[in-house]
Amino acid sequence: TATLGELAEAKGRYFGSATDNPELSDTQYTRILGSEFNQITVGNTMKWQYTEPSQGRFDYTAAEEIVDLAESNGQSVRGHTLVWHNQLPSWVDDVPAGELLGVMRNHITHEVDHFKGRLIHWDVVNEAFEEDGSRRQSVFQQKIGDSYIAEAFKAARAADPDAKLYYNDYNIEGIGPKSDAVYEMVKSFKAQGIPIDGVGMQAHLIAGQVPASLQRNIQRFADLGVDVALTELDIRMTLPRTAAKDAQQATDYGTVVKACLAVSRCVGITIWDYTDKYSWVPSVFPGQGAALPWDENFAKKPAYHAIAAALNGD
Ligand code: G3I
């Protein structure tokens, strides 16, 4: 039977998984990671705290371990992420306001250049908006101002003209104040010639609560002339699992896959790791989890079969 990656490829899309370095010593894990998906996202180790832990000292060792593995398995790689308020080394907080733009550009230039030619996408800026559509008061926002996002995209384009450049965020899957703010930003970037190629909707969703406007929202971004990717999909539930919750989750995964396939510029879907064994969810949302298509023992759940059926057009 076809893998999820093969089914997606037949539709001109990718279906991928995020991964992280500590998991790579688990051979049962890497066997499925290497065979089932045609795309990989580096879940942690391309972030600033790993790649420039002290100013001007760059380290790509951990990230390269994942990129090398993906390449050896014939998988494309998304880069995640260049500018984010989280997992930022503390030295960045101490950079004087007048120097932070240069420091940010230098970080982007160095990292994008390092991986030039090896990545299909970069998440250039991650999670820059609040739920009400205002700008998050990150150190970049406070010290550089609104222009930091455009400046980040310009620096990334200059360093690698071929990687597709994405703005990535959560809770922008449905239409609402936050996705409206991102929409307006993308619209103004397109009008001004700021180099943006795509919007990443993370899609950390809750079973039974897939936004009704998901497909319409993907379409409106596509209509601005950018690609859309679902970049961190998982669908959590209140534990314990039951057959009814698994069935709801499976329906929801199918709905999400169909929404992407319905919009030609929705280029692919990445789940935020593939097995409940390594999901981030229970550590951040106690009492919730079981968010992924494989359980913690690597058995396929109903969600897996719903994804395959949706990719197959059933
Ligand atoms: O590597 C250290 C390890 O040495 C140490 O023993 C351990 C003790 O806590 O921590 C390990 O680092 C953890 C790291 O994941 C690697 O596992 C960090 O504490 C932990 O905070 C970090 O969490 C990551 C989280 O981003 C941080 O915000 C998750 O793995 C990662 O999946 C998650 O990913 C984010 C996306 O980047 C952006 N969107 C939301 C998504 C989920 O939060």
Query: Tell me, what CATH number does 39's domain have?
Result: 3.20.20.80
H or E stretch at 264: none
Whether 99 is catalytic:
no
Q: Which two tokens stand for residue 94?
A: 């101490």
When pLDDT is averaged across residues 240-269 and rounded to a whole number, the result is 98
Probe target for ligand 1 pocket from 20, 59, 280, with the most ligand atoms within 8 Å of CB: 280
Q: Which two tokens stand for residue 40?
A: 């990989």
Residue owning tokens 């879907």: 269
Which atom number of ligand 1 is nearest to the Cα of residue 202? 39
User: What's the CA gap between 6 and 235, in Å, rounded?
Assistant: 22
Q: What are phi and psi of 289, to 5 degrees?
A: 165, -145
Helix (H, G, I), strand (E, B) or coil at 196: coil
The angle that helices 148-159 and 97-114 make with each other, rounded to 10 degrees, is 30
Residue nearest to atom 42 of ligand 1 (CA): 280
CA 267, 44, 287, 32: dihedral to nearest 10 degrees?
A: 60
**104, 125 contact by CB (below 8 A):** no
Looking at the structure of the chain, the number of domains it has is 1
pLDDT above 90 (res 218): yes
Grade residue 23 by pLDDT with cuts at 50, 70 and 90: very high
Residue type, 66: I
Q: Is 232 in the pocket of ligand 1 (CB under 6 A)?
A: yes
What range does the domain containing 42 cover?
A: 4-312
pLDDT above 90 (res 135): yes
Rounded percentage of the chain residues whose pLDDT exceeds 90: 99
Q: Residue 314 has what pLDDT?
A: 84
Going by their DSSP bridges, the two strands 227-238 and 198-201 should be labelled as parallel
- Supply the mean pLDDT for the chain: 98
Residue 103 CA to ligand 1 centre (angstroms):
24
Which one of the listed residues 52, 111, 127, 151 is annotated catalytic? 127
Residue 292 CA to ligand 1 centre (angstroms):
17
Q: What ipTM, to 2 d.p.?
A: 0.93
pLDDT digits (tens, 9 = 90+) for 91-112: 999 999 999 999 999 999 999 9
Q: Which of 277, 122, 302, 280 is nearest to 197 (CA)?
A: 122
Q: Which of 20, 74, 11, 14 is nearest to 274 (CA)?
A: 20
pLDDT above 90 (res 118): yes
Grade residue 72 by pLDDT with cuts at 50, 70 and 90: very high
Going by their DSSP bridges, the two strands 39-42 and 14-19 should be labelled as parallel
Whether 127 is catalytic:
yes
User: What's the CA gap between 289 and 291, in Å, rounded?
Assistant: 5
Residue 212 CA to ligand 1 centre (angstroms):
30
Q: Which of 99, 90, 154, 95 is nearest to 122 (CA)?
A: 154
When pLDDT is averaged across residues 148-169 and rounded to a whole number, the result is 98
Look at phi and psi of residue 49 and say left if phi exceeds 0, alpha if psi is from -120 to 50, else beta: alpha
When pLDDT is averaged across residues 65-79 and rounded to a whole number, the result is 98
Q: Is 44 in the pocket of ligand 1 (CB under 6 A)?
A: yes
Residue 312 CA to ligand 1 centre (angstroms):
33
Which atom number of ligand 1 is nearest to the Cα of residue 126? 38
Grade residue 308 by pLDDT with cuts at 50, 70 and 90: very high
